[in-house]
């Protein structure tokens, strides 16, 4: 059982659903996309994160998301609190952060950058269970054959994000 911890949160509407962002005193600790209730439930179930609403962060956060979805921002400026990631999953997610905007890398390529070239499946698990979807761009990780693969069960959202970045990378 994951122990529950309380964080401050805000909700930002995006083209792929509402983003619920949970912040600690250190920075962004978790993010989930979907309907606000489903995203908050997923944060609690998957990461032990419960949220107290703090709309004071909404303007800062929504501005960055608006810029990203308008093709004007390539990197989010959130300090990340990595406390919910450990071991190789953390290494894999840090490697994902190195994939440039508008580009993709295979699970195997990310595994190699993270120091374990034979751990492509473990990279897939790290991407699937990341507490930082979107801000840590796990949508840029694709299968070895170039097919998209999953993105939190929403392949259309992954396709949208990749196409958005490809359009605006020129």
Would you kindly state where each structural domain of the chain is located, as residue ranges? 5-69, 86-168
Mean pLDDT by 10 residues, the chain (170 residues): 70 92 91 86 84 84 95 94 95 98 97 97 94 94 90 83 93
- pTM for this predicted structure: 0.91
Q: What is the pLDDT of residue 4?
A: 55
Quote the tokens at residue 170: 């020129």
Q: What is the pLDDT of residue 1?
A: 46
At residue 152, φ and ψ (nearest 5 deg) are 60, 30
At residue 24, φ and ψ (nearest 5 deg) are -100, -175
- According to CATH, the topology of domain 86-168 is Arc Repressor Mutant, subunit A (1.10.10)
Q: What is the pLDDT of residue 45?
A: 86
Burial of 43 (0-12, 13-18, 19+ CB in 10 A): buried
HEC string of 37-106 equals HHHHHHHHHHHCEEEEECHHHHHHHHHHHHHHHCCCCCCCCCCECHHHCCHHHHHHHHHHCCCCCCCCEE
| Three-state secondary structure call for residue 139 | helix
**How many other C-beta atoms lie within 10 A of the C-beta of residue 3?**
5
Burial of 56 (0-12, 13-18, 19+ CB in 10 A): exposed
């Amino acid at each position: 059982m994951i122990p529950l911890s309380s964080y401050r949160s805000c909700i930002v509407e995006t083209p792929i659903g509402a983003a619920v962002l949970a912040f600690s005193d250190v920075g962004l600790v978790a993010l989930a996309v979907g309907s606000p209730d489903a995203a908050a439930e997923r944060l609690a179930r998957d990461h032990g994160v419960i949220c107290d609403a703090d709309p004071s962060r909404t303007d800062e956060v929504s501005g960055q998301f608006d810029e990203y979805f308008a093709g004007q921002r390539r990197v989010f400026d959130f300090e990340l609190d990595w406390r919910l990631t450990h071991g190789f999953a953390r290494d894999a997610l840090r490697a994902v952060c190195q994939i440039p905007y508008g580009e993709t890398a295979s699970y195997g390529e990310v595994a190699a950058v993270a120091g374990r070239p034979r751990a492509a499946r473990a990279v897939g698990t790290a991407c699937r269970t990341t507490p930082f979807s979107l801000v840590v761009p796990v949508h840029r990780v694709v299968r070895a054959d170039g097919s998209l693969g999953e993105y939190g069960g929403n392949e259309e959202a992954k396709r949208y994000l990749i196409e958005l970045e490809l359009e605006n990378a020129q």
